[in-house]
Amino acid sequence: MNEEDFGHLVRQYSRLIRSAVARIAGPSAAGICDDVEQNVLIALWQAMPGEQIPDHPSSYIYRAAVRETIRAVRGLKQTSELGPDADKADLSVSQDVIVEGKELGRAIRTTLSEIGPDRRRAVTAHLAGYDVKEIMAMFEWPYHKARNLIARGMADLRRKLDARGCRD
């Protein structure tokens, strides 16, 4: 692989990692994602040995891209946690709402442990923010199986939360 091809591959990866980080950061973090793309571009070049580009670097660069994605997401979290507004309390959410939310959260987690394994995994992933396509990829389920497990698992969850009297 010559340097031009390698450069093209690196640019494709840095753009992809930008979109992977944007999946977490959301559209409001466009500026952060610009920085991520730039940093990843540099890091991927530096990950390669300086003297010579390997004949077949693509598998290796995928691994480097995995590492850079992890670093970028971790860096993103640190930026958001240590940013200028990090020490300001969110006054829009009252303490009561947080306490109620935690109570419901604990009930959800307890209830999930009572659901069958596949439905539990599907619902847990659904609540953790994974979309159907990601759940399919994660568990190697076909579309209809993933959709059915989410739907039936959510129905189980609602019914059991109702029985506990903690859905409303």
Partner 1 sequence: MTEIVRFRTAFMLTDPTEAERHLSEQQWESLACGELDQENHEAALDHILGCRRCAEIHQSLLVLRENAHTFDPGAPVPNVARKSSSRGWIFSGMLAVAATLLVIVFRPVGPDLTNSGPPAAFDPVLRSSQWEQSATPLSPVGQTSMSRVVFSWTSSPTAPVSIVQLIDGHGEVVWTSQETEANTLDWPDNIAPSPGRHYWRVLSFGGAAGGQQASDLVAFDLSEFPSGNPG
Could you list the residues that contact partner 1 (CB under 8 A)?
9, 12-13, 16-17, 19-21, 23-24, 47-49, 52, 54-67, 69-70, 72-74, 77, 98, 101-106, 108-109, 121, 124-130, 133-134, 136-142, 157
Q: How far is the CB of 165 from partner 1 (least distance, A)?
A: 15
Contacts of 20 (CB under 8 A, 6+ apart): 69, 72, 73
Q: Kindly report the number of other CB atoms within 10 A of residue 97's CB atom.
A: 10
What is the rounded CA–CA span in Å between residue 46 and residue 55?
17
Quick check: 13 and 61 in contact, CB under 8 A?
yes
Q: In the numeric block, which tokens belong to residue 28? A: 């409001």
Q: How far is the CB of 90 from partner 1 (least distance, A)?
A: 13
Using the minimum distance from each CB to partner 1, give the nearer residue, 104 or 148.
104
Q: In the numeric block, which tokens belong to residue 164? A: 């506990």
Using the minimum distance from each CB to partner 1, give the nearer residue, 15 or 38.
15
Q: How far is the CB of 76 from partner 1 (least distance, A)?
A: 9
Q: How far is the CB of 82 from partner 1 (least distance, A)?
A: 15
CA–centroid distance for 91 within its chain: 27
